[in-house]
Structure 1
Amino acid sequence: MLIAHLSDPHVRPDGELYQGVVDSNAQFAAAIAHVNALDPRPDLVLLSGDLVDHGQADEYAMLTRLLASLDVPVLAIPGNHDEREAFRRAFAGHSWLPAQGPIDYAVGDRGPVRVVAVDVTLPGLHHGAMSEEGAAWLDRVLAAEPSRPTIVMMHQPPFDTGIPYMDPYSCREGQRLSAVLARHKQVERLLCGHVHRVMQLRFGGTTLCTAPSTTTTIALQLRPDARPASYIEPSAMLLHHWQEGTGLITHFVPIGTFPGPYPFA
């Protein structure tokens, strides 16, 4: 099973640039075209939040136009830049979408790997939180299929990255999430967005992996007095490949056209 993982496209209204600098719409369109051209084509696409930049109706209209060209089924969660009800309207008709409340759901009919989405966003705030109710829901859902390989997807990562201008906006109460995951050994990955960088660490007895943004890369600055900064680096995505007997392999995939292929390896 192949699962493409895109994150943080920050789609803007038609003709407007992200932060007045970056054509995030064109970059997301290029990412979609890249997914469509993969051979073999992925079975599923995950979108781990911040699909639009300001939660506006015209941004979601643009997102819908862009996603119409995607030839692969999609699962999505909101991020702190999304607006939950506008998100719900944009994905109306998708069977996985809950009718009300947080965008929490589980999908297990797309292949051998089950996907559990957890909405940790807090409307109007940039940080997230793992609530007692959310942790209890996740515990029940994971307990329902204890032997099924599973991916858990959320937006804000539940740890401090060391980047001082990102850590105030992490997912708080991460110890609740860690305790739940530690009870469920079938969880192959905890996937997050939000930080516009690839990071990996052990968390809750599994591997946590954050996705790059299709739009910008947040600067890796570890000094406590560092000021917010980003770069326009090549867009990228993750590709998660499940193989029976091996498990889940995660690949970093730059998006674009590069010199090659050359006849050597």
Structure 2
Amino acid sequence: MTIIAQISDLHVQVSGKLVYGVVDTTPLVAEAIAHLSRLKQQPDIVIASGDLVQDGTIAEYELLKTMLAPLQCPVYLMPGNHDHRNHLKQVFASHTYLAKEKSHLSYTVEGYPIQMLMLDSIIPGKGSGCVDPERLTWLEQQLLAAPATPTLIFMHHPPFATGIPWMDRKRCQGHGALANLISQHPQVKRISCGHLHRTIYCPWAGTIASSQPSLVHQSGLDFTPDAPSQFVMEPPAYQLHVWTHENLVSHTLYVGQFDGPYRFSDGKKMMTAAL
């Protein structure tokens, strides 16, 4: 069994600042990291799938580094549209997988029963994302090199349509070419994304594509064509992807203090920790 924790859209800001004038992200992220650190069954790896900080400053990345320090397992970072590639690489210089000499920060995580491909989809200075020919070529090379290895692709910008108009305007550019490539590689078990601040699943390009909840705030759900982009303070959450017996199963965990667990048999409260 391999347990992969995916956290996303942390939007860390230095003390005293509120994201969008509303959200104090620092204590929310700290609580989520503490929650993750208390799990009875610790993950083998943590993936942070973009929008690690709000403004891409050195100070924010220094704070993020301190906040992630309690995690005992390997942590792999990837950028989102709020991130600054060079500042991320500078502060996390010990994360040598970020130091590859190419225009994007895509990389491969190996050494586990399932291969993990981190596909950098950001366009510096833009909120939207892109899989251009260079990144598509890189991804194809990784898939051709391991055709029999179960593969999980992480990227920040989702390539699939959600049915929510204001979200779909942020759909990743190049999604058609990406879909064509993925459809030729049945070893891809999942494409797991960030950016949308909401848990969404759909069949896509012969596999399953999904997006993650945020650790700080969630996107408002509104299907009307003229709905504005909006967020709600629904509970922070993250996911555990469990790979076992050639099957990938994902579990959503809500961050907070909740009563229980209780036994179904007699309603008595159990004294064991969740998970």
- What TM-score, normalized by structure 2, do the two folds share? 0.92
Q: Which residue of 2 aligns with 1:124?
A: 125
Q: Distance in 1 between matches of 2:89 and 2:203?
A: 32
Kept in 2: contact 1:98–1:105 (CA 8 A): no
Does 1:68 pair with 2:44? no
- Gap runs ≥5 in structure 1: none
**Shift in CA distance, 177/98, structure 1 to aligned 2, threshold 3 Å:** farther
Q: Percent identity?
A: 40
**Structure 1 residue 90: deviation in Å?**
2.4
Kept in 2: contact 1:199–1:211 (CA 8 A): yes
Decide which moves more: 86-95 or 45-54.
86-95
Q: Distance in 2 between matches of 1:62 and 1:116?
A: 26
Q: Distance in 1 between matches of 2:124 and 2:104?
A: 10
Q: Which residue of 2 aligns with 1:106?
A: 108
Query: What does the per-residue CA deviation read over 1:177-198, in whole Å, with 9 as the maximum and x for residues that have no partner?
Result: 1111111111111010000001
Q: Distance in 1 between matches of 2:66 and 2:214?
A: 19
Q: Distance in 2 between matches of 1:240 and 1:13?
A: 30
Query: What does the per-residue CA deviation read over 1:136-193, in whole Å, with 9 as the maximum and x for residues that have no partner?
Result: 1101101111111111010010123232322222211101111111111111110100
Q: Secondary structure at the match of 2:47?
A: strand
Q: Which residue of 2 aligns with 1:146?
A: 147
Q: Secondary structure at the match of 2:59?
A: helix
**Structure 1 residue 5: deviation in Å?**
0.6
Q: Distance in 2 between matches of 1:91 and 1:188?
A: 29
- What TM-score, normalized by structure 1, do the two folds share? 0.95
Q: Distance in 1 between matches of 2:146 and 2:89?
A: 27
Q: Secondary structure at the match of 1:106?
A: strand
Kept in 2: contact 1:10–1:24 (CA 8 A): yes
Q: Which residue of 1 aligns with 2:170?
A: 169
The structure having more radius of gyration, on CA atoms, is 2
**Structure 1 residue 263: deviation in Å?**
1.6
**Structure 1 residue 57: deviation in Å?**
1.4
Q: Which residue of 2 aligns with 1:253?
A: 253
**Structure 1 residue 253: deviation in Å?**
1.1
Q: Which residue of 1 aligns with 2:219?
A: 218
Q: Which residue of 2 aligns with 1:85?
A: 86
Number of aligned residue pairs: give it: 263
Kept in 2: contact 1:36–1:72 (CA 8 A): no
Q: Which residue of 1 aligns with 2:263?
A: 263
Q: Distance in 1 between matches of 2:188 and 2:257?
A: 34
Q: Give the partner amino acid of 1:176.
A: A
Kept in 1: contact 2:160–2:209 (CA 8 A): no
Query: What does the per-residue CA deviation read over 1:87-118, in whole Å, with 9 as the maximum and x for residues that have no partner?
Result: 11122111322334211100112x21111001
